[in-house]
Amino acid sequence: MQNKLQENQIPYFCFDRKLTVKDIKQKLKTYKGIQKSLLTAWILREATFKDVWEFLTPKDVWNDLSRLKRFLGRKKQFWEFTMEKWHELGKI
């Protein structure tokens, strides 16, 4: 079982940028609009399902899904299906 990501660690999915867990969380708090959508979509595309929730909540994803769809690439259908099912089940 993999340990929780550490705040000062550069996550495995940051192969194209040097951001720590703390940096990503801070950017998610301060970014607005397209910047936030691009960062959120990047996390949804590159992090494992389990690790996505280190940065985002299901409610975050559900609320922004319509804006995120165009940036999700190969993961678009997965996230649409997951969020719709969770919504139907009353999880979000």
Full pLDDT tens readout for the chain, 92 residues:
456 889 999 999 998 889 999 999 999 999 999 999 999 999 999 999 999 999 999 999 999 999 999 999 999 999 999 999 999 999 99
Q: Any idea what DSSP says for residue 48?
A: -
H helices of the chain, in order, are: 21-30, 33-46, 49-52, 58-68, 76-88
Cβ neighbours for 39, distance < 8 A, ≥ 6 positions apart: 24, 27, 28, 31
Can you tell me the distance from the alpha carbon of 76 to that of 3, in angstroms, rounded to the nearest whole number? 27
Smallest Cα–Cα separation from 75: which of 34, 38, 41, 35?
A: 41
Whole-prediction pTM value?
Answer: 0.91
